[in-house]
Amino acid sequence: MKQVTVLAPAKLNLSLDVVGLLPNGYHDLDMVMQTITLYERLTLRRSPELSLRLPGSWVPVNEKNTAIKAATAFFNYTGIAGGADMEIVKKVPVRAGMAGGSADAAGVLVGLNALYGAHLSMSELCALGAKIGADVPFALMGGTCRVQGVGDFIKALPPCPQCWFVVVMPSVGVSTPEAFARYDRMGSPVHPDCAAQEAAIRDGDLYNLCAAAGNALEHCSGAVETPHIKEVLNAHGAITSLMTGSGAAVFGVFEDEAKARAARTALREEYRQVYLARPDKGGARVLPYRPDRDRKPAPRPQPDRDPREPGKNKPRR
């Protein structure tokens, strides 16, 4: 195998609570997380060197990039003497709380595992991913999960009840460290019931799922456009609306597709990055090989010889 194509989905926090501080100083979190049908698309090719291209993106390409970190971790762990030419077409907004960087890292780990036939287990991939970022293990598993601690305790749940998400990226992103620093100073009046939300998911109850939704970081995120976006989403029929992660993206949950599309249309008049998505049942995965997509273009056929030349271009019997 010389090339693989990987889809790595974005995530939303259906709920996020801060339940304390851990001995290492990190915040102890309780969350319900959901991958959605908005994807980073990665193409990985075997190469003696390690390189990365992000066409159309302003994200820096350096040793701090999560894709570079993931590739380095993979080769160090496996001992494989190789490299990869990596190209990522980024669709997930940056500084949005949607784990675009974690999706990139998960996509690289899954892609290199297939590209080099390393046969690493999901547990091994998650252990590598956890060293890169807290959301990477979830980005590898995907679907609907209860996630606790710093992202290291993941419990798979049944699929989210069918619904539509309208996701809006405000004009300004949010820094995760700054959001948590503000939480430490301000606290939050919002503490969602993640256990009730898990129960609603197990019951397939979209309305109780939404009733238990909430984000403890929303109040202190500093994202000033959040209330207005939520107001528009709710006015167009969202069952609930909230910020995801540490911000700044805001999403609404809709049972009705027509209402979701109307909300997207209205918000596109104000915001450039507005997405319509559905729940996704998985994490980063390699797409099936397709010759028309993955194979290099065939060489152009040479022009036929002059049919007037004797003995040339005669049909075979």
Q: What is the pLDDT of residue 309?
A: 42
Question: Of 224, 160, 177, which Cα lies nearest the Cα of 15?
Answer: 160
Q: What is the pLDDT of residue 306?
A: 43
Q: What is the pLDDT of residue 223?
A: 87
Report d(CA 190, CA 218) in Å as an integer: 8
Q: What is the pLDDT of residue 292?
A: 64
Q: What is the pLDDT of residue 11?
A: 98
Cis check for the bond before 248: say yes or no (omega within 30 of 0).
yes
* Residue-by-residue pLDDT tens, the chain, 317 positions: 899 999 999 999 999 999 999 998 899 999 999 999 999 999 999 999 999 999 999 999 999 999 999 999 999 999 999 999 999 999 999 999 999 999 999 999 999 999 999 999 999 999 999 999 999 999 999 999 999 999 999 999 999 999 999 999 999 999 999 999 999 999 999 999 999 999 999 999 999 999 999 999 999 988 899 999 999 999 999 999 999 999 999 999 999 999 999 999 999 999 999 999 999 999 999 999 876 656 554 444 444 444 344 443 333 33
Question: Of 8, 66, 25, 35, which Cα lies nearest the Cα of 150?
Answer: 25
> What pTM was estimated for this model as a whole?
0.90
Can you read off the two tokens belonging to residue 17? 């609570």
Q: What is the pLDDT of residue 285?
A: 98
Question: Of 156, 158, 121, which Cα lies nearest the Cα of 141?
Answer: 156
Just list the catalytic residues.
Answer: 11, 135
Q: What is the pLDDT of residue 159?
A: 98
What are the structural domains of the chain? 3-289 (3.30.230.10)
Given the structure tokens 């995801």, which residue do they identify?
Answer: 244
Can you name the residues that pair with 285 across neighbouring β-strands?
Answer: 7
Q: What is the pLDDT of residue 222?
A: 85
Q: What is the pLDDT of residue 293?
A: 59
DSSP character string of 125-161:
HHHHHHTT-TTHHHHHH-SEEEEEETTTEEEE-SPPP
Report d(CA 141, CA 156) in Å as an integer: 8
